[in-house]
Structure 1
Amino acid sequence: MTAMSSFLPVGAPVDAHPAPRPQRSTVLAGRHVDIVAFDPKLHARDLYELSHGDDRERLWAYLGAAPYPDFATFLAAYEAAAGREDPLMFAIRDRATGRAVGHATYMRIDTANRVIEIGNILYTPALMRTQGGTEAMYLMARHVFETLGYRRYEWKCNALNAPSRRAAERYGFTFEGIFRHHMIVKGHNRDTAWFSMLEEEWPQRAVAMEAWLAPENFDADGRQHVSLSVLNAGTLDTPTHSLRRASLGDRPAVEALQRAAFARNRELLGTEPIPLQWEYGQVFRTREVWVLDGPEAGGTSGALAGVLILQPRADDLYIDNIGVAPGAQGRGLGNVLLDAAEMRARALGRRQMRLITGEKLVDNVHWYRRKGFGIEQVRELADRRVVHMLKPLG
């Protein structure tokens, strides 16, 4: 998860406009849960009952408060919390039952620097290890990055809280270190583990979360087919090379490679190659984007040797694009990228791979056939004929 990526260098100019504050009126609707402003009258009783069972000591172990002795004490504390603007508390409401099954807050809200933290998270047993639990974190992160425009999203927890640390990494946060003697909580020293997610990273994190949450990722009993940790992988290792998951910071280099790599195809096709028609902001937000660094790029600082763009679908892995920098061609990197795609397909449990290529790109068609792809069909588009190809995986 912590593989090298491309971000704004220290001291680089940025858009300095402030972000808006999250609003109490916000409602984030999901398929399993909704995120709504915490209302003690509506949510306190459910939350108290679900969080004060036999496992209450474990449930509250790393929160700032201890389990409450009775509902009246709990209600008073949560009435006070519900009136604050920072932390701004939201209930996680189960759509099937209408009950509050957890809560989370936006906190340490720094609009000038566009930094915000997700914290004070309480998941009751009704929410733990459910699709709704992951969906809640997805909805809140999406709101932070895509609606409010924050640059940095933070997750902090007691350094001893192993489940919280695992959850942060599963969701795609990057561990940044330990703040020693950071706090005194319930009369005990707390070292704090810090994690972050950046705006450049969010599009690929969102791709992984949405793939995990997709109905086809679960069997009839609700068991996942592919874990979020696998979907959020930061590296893709072949026997000879290691690809890394791209961030939006790589977008200029990806576009530059594509323009250079597909210039020849424009002449052969007599029309614009499909990868040069894409809006790459949308590509990063809807596809897996993998890049290959290394000296094969020709020694240009910041250049890439290869790009691999993949789309996991319900019954296959679709290879949107394999691109090799002109200066790196003839060194077998196309084979490396295709091998990486097959490894990714197997890791995701897909039994076949598909792709399309232009009918006039005869060398491409022959190369894919040598690699085990067969022709499914040839389709006529408005400006070209394309060959649909399939490779079954044993």
Structure 2
Amino acid sequence: MSTATFHYEQRRLENDLVALEIFEPSVHAAPFVEMIKAHPDMFTYIPFPTINDEADFMRLYEGISSSPGDCLFAVIDKVASPGEVGVNGKFAGVVSLIGTNKDDAVTEMGVIIFPAFQRTHVATNAIGLLLLWTLDPPSAGGLGLRRVAWRAHAENAASRRTALRIGFEFEGIARWDRVFPRGKVALSAEALRIKNGTQEEQPGRHTAVFSIVWDEWDEKRPQVVALMGRR
């Protein structure tokens, strides 16, 4: 990824358990596409486009890498033993920052953890590393942002539980927040068709909105760090 396009200098983030590497297509794209094809259920609640091959993925990646508001990391499990799923047995998923606005000092976090690494230390540490980087002040090596958002399909109970466990505050439900691909968990598009007169409009979703903000970070930070230390 060209780090010059992101609002901030993207860098490797890590602790003893997990590393967030800058996503490198030549290393990470092929195993990521394999995982997408093997586990399409990972995207039941995520508005992810259809990916049939690396070419499809690279079209998506080019949009991410060219946006100053977005950046993508590969999640590497430093505890995983050889022979497990992924690059060198350790490629455990991806995390991203989405819609980062430097003027307002806000961003949104996105997380996809592969099935073999779910319900382990991986997600907590990947999320924690992103929170430390985004919310810690520059004097402590962070970006000093004011707000990190977490958005989940309103019916995605697992994602909502994760957000609350990490320390995100529930803000409410954004109703009919976005369109959602056919064949996934979505609200009917019929009312939308009636409204705008089209026949090809996609179904939609309600979105549960969570956040952690800067004036509560000093209180929440020790809790996040403590969670990251558990296995």
Q: In which range does the TM-score fall when normalised by the shorter chain?
A: 0.7 to 0.9
- Find the partner of 2:71 among 78, 88, 92: 88
Opposite residue 98 of structure 2, the aligned amino acid is: M
Matched, 1:189 2:171: no
Q: 1:100 to 1:67 in 2, by over 3 A?
A: farther
Distance in 1 of aligned mates of 2:133 and 2:64: 22
Q: 1:41 to 1:99 in 2, by over 3 A?
A: farther
Distance in 2 of aligned mates of 1:69 and 1:111: 34
Distance in 2 of aligned mates of 1:130 and 1:22: 30
| RMSD (Å) for aligned C-alpha atoms | 2.1
Matched, 1:116 2:107: yes
Q: 1:106 to 1:181 in 2, by over 3 A?
A: same
- What is the deviation of 1:64? 2.0
Partner of 1:47: 32
What SS is found at the alignment partner of 2:115? coil
Cα shift readout 1:215-253 (whole Å, capped 9, x = no counterpart): xx45xxxxxxxxxxxxxxxxxxxxxxxxxxxxxxxxxxx
Q: Please give the residue correspondences for 1:1-394 in structure 2 after superposition, counting only pairs within 5 Å.
A: 21-24=7-10, 26-53=11-38, 56-95=39-78, 96=80, 97=88, 99-119=90-110, 121-146=111-136, 147-186=142-181, 187-214=202-229, 217-218=230-231
- Give structure 1 stretches of 5+ with no counterpart: 1-19, 219-394
- Quick one: higher RCO (CA 8 Å, sep 6+), 1 or 2? 2
- Give structure 2 stretches of 5+ with no counterpart: 1-5, 81-87, 137-141, 182-201
Give the TM-score taking structure 2 as reference length: 0.75
Cα shift readout 1:40-66 (whole Å, capped 9, x = no counterpart): 11111222223332xx23211122224
Distance in 2 of aligned mates of 1:57 and 1:50: 8
- What is the deviation of 1:32? 1.9
Q: 1:127 to 1:85 in 2, by over 3 A?
A: farther
Give the TM-score taking structure 1 as reference length: 0.46
Q: Percent identity?
A: 30
Q: Does the aligned pair in 2 maintain the 1:27–1:35 contact within 8 Å?
A: yes
Distance in 2 of aligned mates of 1:151 and 1:80: 25
Partner of 1:258: none
Cα shift readout 1:9-53 (whole Å, capped 9, x = no counterpart): xxxxxxxxxxx93323x1101222211211111111222223332
Q: Does the aligned pair in 2 maintain the 1:107–1:117 contact within 8 Å?
A: yes
Opposite residue 130 of structure 2, the aligned amino acid is: M
Count of aligned positions: 193
